[in-house]
Amino acid sequence: MELMTHGDLKSYLRSLRPDSENNPTGRPPPTLKEMIQMAAEIADGMAYLNAKKFVHRDLAARNCMVAEDFTVKIGDFGMTRDIYETDYYRKGGKGLLPVRWMAPESLKDGVFTAHSDCWSFGVVLWEISTLAEQPYQGLSNEQVLKFVMDGGYLDRPDNCPERMHSLMQMCWQYNPKMRPTFHEIIEMLREDLHPSFQDVSFFYSEENKVPETEEFDLDLDNMESIPLDPSSYSQREESLGRDCGPSVGLRGNYEEHVPYTHMNGGKKNGRILSLPRSSPS
């Protein structure tokens, strides 16, 4: 296993606080460019997991590691449940749950998909922006459960760049299907990344290349042989909507969900993929 010199991301971020005793060199907090680099590296690791049909289910700063060159990589270490015990909550006698990082559909129905991982990624962005403060500080775990299931999400951190906050909001769409994929997130950030990202990332690797598909010749003279049963298409569309990795016990039609009026300024919940340009930092 690779040695991660700077430990987990949560401890590393906290060490960068101005009053931290673990920052003897006085290293400053990350700049916007450095935060974007961290975000892209985490998203790249998640895109790899998604390509392999894995769902993480516990993405958080405590489960990301910082290498000697400050590259951030994802992991999932059971020991974090002991080290960061307060980050987990036992609901109804079940296993420990990271409720402050969980999407509403995960809290409500036990659904975990690439979409719910994206919600958790938004919380990681919030952790990066706050130097690893506790999400929903001041609320109990039970209050967080109700707040998120009722359509709530984290406030914009103090001094948080608009670009980071816009990305957080995309990840916190109540409708899971309206959240961006990790590939889309990298696509939005890639122009601001260090050139070395192209050499080491999954996003730019041959493994991530879309395989060529065979051309399909439609026989226009034999159209009656093509099934036109509308139900077959609705079933296919339903299955395609779930093509972002495996899910567990999906229940409820989130396409029909009416978002809460206080979300997105009372407007319809939709995906917005454009991000404000970053200013020089």
Catalytic residues: 58
User: What's the rounded Cα separation, in Å, for the pair 89 and 76?
Assistant: 17
Q: What are phi and psi of 73, to 5 degrees?
A: -125, 150
Q: How crowded is residue 32: how many other Cβ atoms within 10 Å of its Cβ?
A: 18
Q: Name which of 46, 44, 84 is nearest 62 in CA terms.
A: 84
Burial of 183 (0-12, 13-18, 19+ CB in 10 A): middle
Residue 17 · residue 131 · CB < 8 Å: yes
Length of the chain: 281
Burial of 73 (0-12, 13-18, 19+ CB in 10 A): middle
Q: Name which of 192, 188, 148 is nearest 172 in CA terms.
A: 148
Query: In sequence order, what are the beta bridge partners of 64?
Result: 74
